[in-house]
Structure 1
Amino acid sequence: MLATSFQPKKDSFKNTFCIFKEVPLSEIQQLEQRYKSESGSTYYYTPEGMYRLSNHWGRLGNSKWRLLEMNPPSASKIKLGFAKWEDFYPDNPSEKLYYIDADFDNYTANYYHKNDSDYNGKALLRTTAETRKRLKNIRNVLTLTRWAVYYDQDIEELRKRIVSELINTDKTLEVIKREVSNSFQN
């Protein structure tokens, strides 16, 4: 890709959610650095999207930018991510914009924006604060085992059932666990 003078509008990334995909550093060799933040992240713009070279990802000021690492992940702490312009979605903490998806094989869960093309319309949408709290519960169910000692059931089946309820309903974790426990007694 050749260097470009493309420049996005000032403040066009405030209050946005975006998932960048990690790419090799070679992708920015021919590009001109367009911006460097106070924290040291550098930005390169193209007509297709933005490259961000940084050692930190996640909540950035008033935006949520996550990096989807290469497989296998690069060893460097500084990672280059690319996102298309259309992958930047509006973020408003008071709106129900986020859904959660779990990967039971890898015992992980993450949140995504409702405008993402993968959203199936089934997972419940939540605000930022609700999503954070629910995600913590889900990650605990997926990674911890102590909670399962009170059940006489396969932990993997329990995880799937409980996490699916946490994703698709507003029921509290306590209510879900009680319902699961009662269903085994009947």
Structure 2
Amino acid sequence: MGLSPKKGTYRVVLNEPHYKDLLFDLIPPPPITSSSHKSELVVMGFPTRVSSLTPSFCACHQKPVLGGYICPRCTSKICDLPTECDVCGLMLISSPHLARSYHHLFPVENFVEVPWNSMVSTECYACQIPYEKPPPPISSRSVQIPADASSGRYSCPKCLQHFCVDCDVFIHEVLHNCPGCLGMTARNGHGDEMEM
């Protein structure tokens, strides 16, 4: 059982993915909303993972271990990441840890819903699954469809590609990158400048 973001309510964990969802509802840092924050450099090291047949002492626990990470500054052995090196004080982190924290600082912009009459694509840009057929013209319909009926298509405001609702959710909650914007960056020859 865990506390939910709404004060005073509790939720029961159903399975591992549900536990992960509940946990991440509580821990993501807020996005940067203004540019008035002063930037500061943080010195970090990306250690090398090692595994050997003979144990050696780690700097963090002073116990013999077979595997671990080697600090790039002082070459001492550390058991787990992320941490601060006990010998030289360098912050040690792996690139996946850094990428996960970076996504929450610069979230993907919200996609805008595409109305039926602005439909230009027939399939989702990400999963390539065809969209539903648009409703027939008003004159040939026996049942009126409300003007504000959802089309199930969403457009990225930057690259203008259309996505289905499932891909929209996946992009914002898991991927943290728009495939259309990344494709545009790669086509322009700037593939090494992708957002994380």
Larger RCO (CA under 8 A, 6+ residues apart): 1
More strand by share: 1
| TM-score normalised by L of structure 1 | 0.23
- The structure number with the bigger radius of gyration is 2
